[in-house]
Amino acid sequence: MAKTLYAPGTSGIGTRARAFSWLGKRFSPGWCLYWCLVYVFKVPGLGDYDHDGSADAEDYWKAAKKRGKVVETSDPKKIPAGVLIMWTGGSSDHGHAAFSLGDGEMMSTDLPTRGEVGRVPISEAHDRWGLKLVGYVLVDGNGFTLVREDRTKYETTTEVNVRNTPSTRSKILRVLEEGHRFEGKDVVNGGGREWVQTAGDNYVALEFVKKV
């Protein structure tokens, strides 16, 4: 049996910490895949897989579909934390790659500012550039497993507030609609009730969600 090759930090700790270490820092425009692979996942690239003259995000996606394992989805809500998100299209057909934070957010080069790493909604790549969200990579074309950590999946049973700490007195960051699915890292106590700690390190009251 072939040995599984894990990308460094696939527990969800190493990759996330490395991604956040770049928040607000300058990075060469257009080098989204290079940033994700070299600085976040620490795995090698694939080169010009489709022989179109450019080693880009579309190459990486095509190779992962052919030789690895991917999850195809166009719904940002279904993108879990800690995965490599992929888009196709663009003016030069290079696509885009970014690191998922869960809860519909990501760390990305060139968003919201060109030449800088930022934290933005996953939908921003489509809204800003018209790119097509195609899914995320579990095992790439080189055989590296990019995600290892299993997390509990939840679904909201009504509209529920997302807060920045486990307390009803903390700031409301946004409101999730009924039926929204997300991943939880842990269940913690706060203010006399239980809270689900989301993959994005925010909190949702446990009484308003169910496991799926």
Domains (range + CATH), the chain: 5-145 (3.90.1720.10), 152-211 (2.30.30.40)
Task: State pLDDT tens for residues 156-171.
Answer: 999 999 999 999 999 9
pLDDT digits (tens, 9 = 90+) for 159-208: 999 999 999 999 999 999 999 998 887 788 898 899 998 877 799 999 99
pLDDT at 44: 84
Q: Kindly tell me if the per-residue pLDDT of 49 is higher than 70.
A: no
Is the pTM for the entire model greater than 0.75? no
* Residue 20: count of CB within 10 angstroms of its CB: 15
* Non-local CB neighbours of 36 within 8 Å, separated by 6+ positions: 84, 97, 98, 99
Per-residue pLDDT tens over the stretch 81-101:
889 999 998 777 789 999 999
Each residue's pLDDT tens digit, 116-138: 999 999 999 999 999 999 999 99
Cβ-contact 76, 124 below 8 angstroms: no
Query: Residue 40: pLDDT band by 50, 70, 90 thresholds?
Result: very high
Side-chain half-sphere exposure of 184, counting CA atoms within 13 A? 23
